[in-house]
Structure 1
Amino acid sequence: MEKPRQSLAGLWNISFGFFGIQIGFALQNANMSRIFQSLGEDIEKLPGLWVAAPLTGLLVQPVIGHMSDRTWLGRLGRRRPYFLGGAILAAVALFVMPESPAVWFAAVMLWLLDASLNISMEPFRAFVGDMLRKDQHSAGYAVQTAFIGAGAVVGSLFPALMEAMGVANVAPPGQIPDTVRYAFWFGGVALFLAVLWTVVSTSEYSPEQMTAFEAARAEAAAPAQRALASRDYGASLAWIASGILVAFVQMRFSLLREILLLGALLAAYGLASMIAIALARRGNTANMLSSIVGDFAGMPPLMKRLALVQFFSWSALFIMWINTTPIVTQYHFHATDPASSAYQDGANWVGELFAIYNGVAAVAALTLLPWLAARIGAALTHIVALICGAAGYASFLVLRDPALLVLSEIFIGIFWASVLAMPYAILASSLPQAKLGIYMGLFNVFIVVPQLLVATVMGQLMKAFFPGEPIWTMAFAAATLLLAAAAMARVVPLVAASKPAS
């Protein structure tokens, strides 16, 4: 039994909620460094404050993926309860964020905002796979990417639009400009309404229908956690030892305290895997911990190779989101004081640059990338896009006219479109439907972990080698994208092998 083919209106409704979610992410990405600096924080400490975002994603996404695979709440269905709950919490965070009285409060709100956005976002990735036939996966993720780009354009441009309408773009020291405050309030309303549209305009297939659609694949997908019982504790102990070593190095060399968090997470995963193995040996494989750990260890080979590509790709993206505002304001607008009009003008220009790369992504997802993929394949297309991204980042080191940074953003936009569409299009058709949520959640771990590393390590590297010179982070980002392109070359033969013989 095959799923019915979705119309263009169906594709629109399935992914329209992502338009609102991405408005929230765009406001966060373009303005959180600005908010932290406006509240008095130093540049070198920005990565540590951003640690809340990847940490919440790391914890939330696999759990939400596992739970959404097993949820059915009557008319709300399987994924939509998480869309709606996350949207409500995210809207609250967006309304409260610009009223932050201090840096610590803004960091807490960032934690809440990112957790809420992840609660909504993670099931949306699986939702495309739930609702679409295999031959529509590429189209579905392309439409989703277009909405991501469009939402990010709106979220990124709103502070500049507010200034053009006469809203104050400068605030006294320790306060957040009205342009940012109004943008966050608008974003909260837009996010909620967009997600609500998807919730009320779609109807999910029942568990019985999903079983009929995917019976053959479900039988082939034996629970990976059953294999846990045959594993020893060696790998778990190695994770714990790695965490202890990281903590020792941090204390021995007086590194930034955020690095202790990295050590704690390594040790925590080792301990969690030991518990999961022990439960599996006792015959208890139905619990969430064993399911997540077992599926993580049992990822398909294609997914493992794509995960490495994601790791490098999202390292570069997180570097950009954290550092673009300090870079542009310092090197292109020659301002480092957040209370100055030049700094706030530069920060608004960053919002416009982010809107440009997202607008390019929205167009490229529906035009350039499908055209290129039809000729050279999705895997090679992604390699081309990764190299475009590396060129875009590297150009920040040589361009000093703010207007010329538009060229940089065009290359970054092509890369961004591909990273949101191609890995998921390649992966979705090879995953068992019954585990689509958990596998998408685990795949997103390789989006979150590099962000966490950047948030904990990049500040230390800047302090040690480039104090007060954030421009060099763009060189580091360009290099990581070249590594991503090399890793993607290892995916090409697996994609070719997975195609049916003609």
Structure 2
Amino acid sequence: MLEIQKKLTNTFYAILALPATAMGFALSIQISALSWILSTKYHLDIHEVGLVWAAGPIAGILGQVIIGIISDNVWFLNGRRRPFILIGGILAALMLLALPNIDVISSSLGIDGILGIAIAVALTLDLAINISFNPTRSIIADVTPEGVERTKGYTWMQTISGTFGVLAYVIGAVWNNYALIYFGVFLVLGLSIFPTLFIEEPKELSKKEKNKTETKTSFTAILSYIEPLWGFLIYSIYAIAAKLFNIHFENYYAEIICFIITIVFILKVILQKSEKGNEGISSFKKVLAAHSFTWIGIQTMFVYMFAYVQFKVYGYDGSSKIPENISIEMGKVVTISFLIFNAVAAVLPVLVLEPLARKIGKTKTHFLSITSMAVSYALMLLFGLSPFVIYVIMALLGIGWASTISLPFAIMSQQIDQSRMGLFMGLFNLSVVLPQLVASFGIGQAINSASDKSLIFIISTISLSISALFWMMVKKD
């Protein structure tokens, strides 16, 4: 073991953050370029773009849980998480390389239309990211003690990852998204492979503490752990089946029913008192409930921000072809927006969120951050009609984003059996990917049908407000 790891120096925290940074960079490319390239180069409609985005979360539903369970119980290449980081990094780099060449791949395979190939590439890319994201986050918990040092690990993860995310958007803004994609291929490959060689993993994970419930890994037990997500899960199965069998309903009865189911089970989890000896699992469920609504709002912005800028700022409703110079300009507005968004998120975790969390607690710090995000979405809805105003509001939104991708991991990891970190990190990811499917299917259909694309930020505002309310009810640390 290197001396920097023994002493848990800042240098070690920086190295420990690099594998997650690789996946974060790949995700930044996906957010910045995927909707843009599908809309402008391949001329897909909004609902088709949403379908492509849905492929990734579908992969994540199984990918992170399965990889989490496996990585808890294997030892290969002198690591438990290392093999999956390496495999995921290589796959992600290859799929990034494929992204601007979907038409070439389609024609070389003799396939008419590119939607199927686009879905396959997006699916493999997101599966690769999911394969790696779970181990890159789990390894931080594996090699840091619970408490302050672990919070430091996750805030450093977000600071390093966020800094590289800013670099991604700088490249896209200064040059273009094609330069960003090809640069990302080499960066993702390098940061996935080399840093893992300097991190020594413990061969034995610490067992559960006395106040933590024994962890079961049966199908019924796993379903019980994700009880607050049942409504999202039911809707995801329905939406996927409807797409596969081309079933269309004029009204939103299925969405309304699933929303009611979601609220019922979330309120059941949030309001019930923890049973003695089961406090950890109860708190874990409450974190899932609160985190899920955060991601409905955030994913809606990620996927449909381009449509909002296209409609509200430039006045194109999708019925006419957009000139190439205007298309590039719109792409840059979106890229600069996410650059600012991630720049704020890169600076805050170590400089602001970690010290504030030490003082008032992680949960309260995160609640305040999510509340600020809900307010900022409302401001976007009211005033986001020009690039400059959008940039200012995106800076405010970066406060909530900084917290969303750092503090919930620290909050969640202190609730559960440490020897099953991979499993619970995978289950925790379901509070991200299932809401993403809702954003891609149900919300995508609603936005596609809406004449006013302001609906995007109406949904985001409501979702983050609900999330903030639920975070108020999570047990304070």
TM score, norm. by length of structure 1: 0.78
1:43 corresponds in structure 2 to: 46
Structure 1 residues 299 and 459: alpha-carbon distance in aligned structure 2, compared to 1, 3 A threshold: farther
Contact kept, 8 Å, 2:213 with 2:280, in 1: the verdict is: no
Question: Quick check: 1:386 aligned with 2:370?
Answer: yes
**438, 463, 471: which one pairs with 2:423?**
438
1:57 corresponds in structure 2 to: 60
Q: Could you tell me how far apart the structure 2 residues matched to 1:228 and 1:348 are? A: 47
1:480 corresponds in structure 2 to: 463
Contact kept, 8 Å, 1:20 with 1:195, in 2: the verdict is: yes
User: Which residues of 2 match residues 466-477 of structure 1 at below 5 A?
Assistant: 466-467=450-451, 469-477=452-460
2:443 corresponds in structure 1 to: 458
Give 5+ residue unaligned stretches, structure 2: 104-113, 263-277
**302, 317, 320: which one pairs with 2:298?**
317
SS in 2 for 1:217: coil
Structure 1 residues 191 and 338: alpha-carbon distance in aligned structure 2, compared to 1, 3 A threshold: farther
Contact kept, 8 Å, 2:88 with 2:129, in 1: the verdict is: yes
1:499 corresponds in structure 2 to: none
> Which whole-Å deviations, capped at 9, do the CAs of 1:307-328 have from their partners, x for residues lacking one?
0111100111110111111211
**195, 216, 224: which one pairs with 2:216?**
224
Q: Could you tell me how far apart the structure 2 residues matched to 1:387 and 1:225 are? A: 35
Q: Could you tell me how far apart the structure 2 residues matched to 1:338 and 1:117 are? A: 32
2:414 corresponds in structure 1 to: 429
| Displacement of 1:120 | 0.9
Question: Quick check: 1:141 aligned with 2:154?
Answer: yes
Contact kept, 8 Å, 2:74 with 2:80, in 1: the verdict is: yes
User: Which residues of 2 match residues 141-180 of structure 1 at below 5 A?
Assistant: 141-162=154-175, 179-180=176-177
**115, 137, 148: which one pairs with 1:103?**
115
Paired AA for residue 361 in structure 2? G
| Displacement of 1:306 | 0.6
| Displacement of 1:220 | 5.7
CA RMSD of aligned residues (A): 3.2
Paired AA for residue 327 in structure 1? Y
User: Which residues of 2 match residues 398-413 of structure 1 at below 5 A?
Assistant: 398-413=383-398
| Displacement of 1:431 | 1.9
Contact kept, 8 Å, 2:208 with 2:419, in 1: the verdict is: no
Contact kept, 8 Å, 1:93 with 1:112, in 2: the verdict is: yes
| Displacement of 1:92 | 0.4
**7, 10, 27: which one pairs with 2:9?**
7
Paired AA for residue 35 in structure 2? S
Paired AA for residue 362 in structure 1? A
User: Which residues of 2 match residues 269-288 of structure 1 at below 5 A?
Assistant: none
Question: Quick check: 1:253 aligned with 2:253?
Answer: no
Q: Could you tell me how far apart the structure 2 residues matched to 1:435 and 1:338 are? A: 50
1:165 corresponds in structure 2 to: none
Q: Could you tell me how far apart the structure 2 residues matched to 1:8 and 1:325 are? A: 38
User: Which residues of 2 match residues 67-106 of structure 1 at below 5 A?
Assistant: 67-75=70-78, 77-101=79-103, 102-106=114-118
| Displacement of 1:62 | 0.2
> Which whole-Å deviations, capped at 9, do the CAs of 1:390-446 have from their partners, x for residues lacking one?
122222222322112122111211001111122111121222221000011001111
SS in 1 for 2:60: helix
2:270 corresponds in structure 1 to: none
- Which of 86-95 and 106-115 deviates more? 106-115
Q: Could you tell me how far apart the structure 1 residues matched to 2:341 and 2:237 are? A: 41
Question: Quick check: 1:330 aligned with 2:330?
Answer: no
Question: Quick check: 1:307 aligned with 2:288?
Answer: yes
1:288 corresponds in structure 2 to: none
2:194 corresponds in structure 1 to: 197
Q: Could you tell me how far apart the structure 2 residues matched to 1:160 and 1:349 are? A: 8
Contact kept, 8 Å, 1:333 with 1:343, in 2: the verdict is: no
Paired AA for residue 475 in structure 1? I
Q: Could you tell me how far apart the structure 1 residues matched to 2:235 and 2:53 are? A: 23
- Which of 29-38 and 368-377 deviates more? 368-377
1:183 corresponds in structure 2 to: 180
Contact kept, 8 Å, 2:18 with 2:157, in 1: the verdict is: yes
| Displacement of 1:377 | 1.9
**322, 329, 339: which one pairs with 1:345?**
329
SS in 1 for 2:96: helix
2:361 corresponds in structure 1 to: 377
2:36 corresponds in structure 1 to: 34
Structure 1 residues 338 and 57: alpha-carbon distance in aligned structure 2, compared to 1, 3 A threshold: farther
Q: Could you tell me how far apart the structure 2 residues matched to 1:355 and 1:130 are? A: 31
Q: Could you tell me how far apart the structure 1 residues matched to 2:136 and 2:460 are? A: 28
Q: Could you tell me how far apart the structure 2 residues matched to 1:453 and 1:118 are? A: 18
Structure 1 residues 252 and 442: alpha-carbon distance in aligned structure 2, compared to 1, 3 A threshold: same
| Displacement of 1:248 | 8.8
Structure 1 residues 7 and 328: alpha-carbon distance in aligned structure 2, compared to 1, 3 A threshold: same
Contact kept, 8 Å, 1:24 with 1:191, in 2: the verdict is: yes
| Displacement of 1:241 | 9.0
Q: Could you tell me how far apart the structure 1 residues matched to 2:119 and 2:279 are? A: 35
SS in 1 for 2:202: coil
Q: How many residues align?
A: 428
Q: Larger C-alpha radius of gyration, 1 or 2?
A: 1
| Displacement of 1:41 | 1.2
TM score, norm. by length of structure 2: 0.82
| Displacement of 1:151 | 2.3
Q: Could you tell me how far apart the structure 2 residues matched to 1:416 and 1:49 are? A: 23
- Which of 364-373 and 3-12 deviates more? 3-12
Paired AA for residue 158 in structure 2? T
Contact kept, 8 Å, 1:391 with 1:478, in 2: the verdict is: yes
1:176 corresponds in structure 2 to: none
Contact kept, 8 Å, 1:145 with 1:362, in 2: the verdict is: yes
**346, 349, 366: which one pairs with 1:365?**
349
Give 5+ residue unaligned stretches, structure 1: 163-178, 267-296, 497-502
Contact kept, 8 Å, 1:24 with 1:155, in 2: the verdict is: no
Q: Could you tell me how far apart the structure 2 residues matched to 1:302 and 1:381 are? A: 17
Paired AA for residue 178 in structure 2? R
Q: Could you tell me how far apart the structure 2 residues matched to 1:331 and 1:244 are? A: 33
Contact kept, 8 Å, 2:46 with 2:448, in 1: the verdict is: no
2:379 corresponds in structure 1 to: 395
2:108 corresponds in structure 1 to: none
Q: Could you tell me how far apart the structure 1 residues matched to 2:155 and 2:234 are? A: 42
> Which whole-Å deviations, capped at 9, do the CAs of 1:63-115 have from their partners, x for residues lacking one?
0100110110143x110100000000000000111011133322221111110
